[in-house]
Amino acid sequence: MAKKSSASLTVVPNKPMDARLLAPKRLTSRQKELWSEIVSSKPAAWFDAANSALLLGYVKSIVSHEILTSQSDAIEATLMEPDADLKRLNRLHIMIERQSRLIQTFATKLRLTQQSRYTPATAAVMAGKASGVRPWDEGK
In tens, the pLDDT along 87-98 reads 888 999 999 999
Which pLDDT score is estimated for 82? 61
Is residue 138 helix, strand or coil?
coil
**What is the pTM assigned to this prediction?**
0.71
Average pLDDT over residues 3-20: 68
Higher pLDDT pick, 104 / 83:
104
With DSSP H G I counted as helix, E B as strand and the rest as coil, what are the percentages for the chain, rounded to 5? 60, 0, 40
C-alpha closest to that of 35 among 50, 52, 19? 52
Range 14-43 average pLDDT: 88
- The pair phi, psi for residue 110, each rounded to 5°, is -85, 0
Q: Rounded distance, CA 118 to CA 127, Å?
A: 11
The number of beta carbons lying within 10 Å of the beta carbon of residue 111 is: 12
Q: Return the DSSP state at 114.
A: G
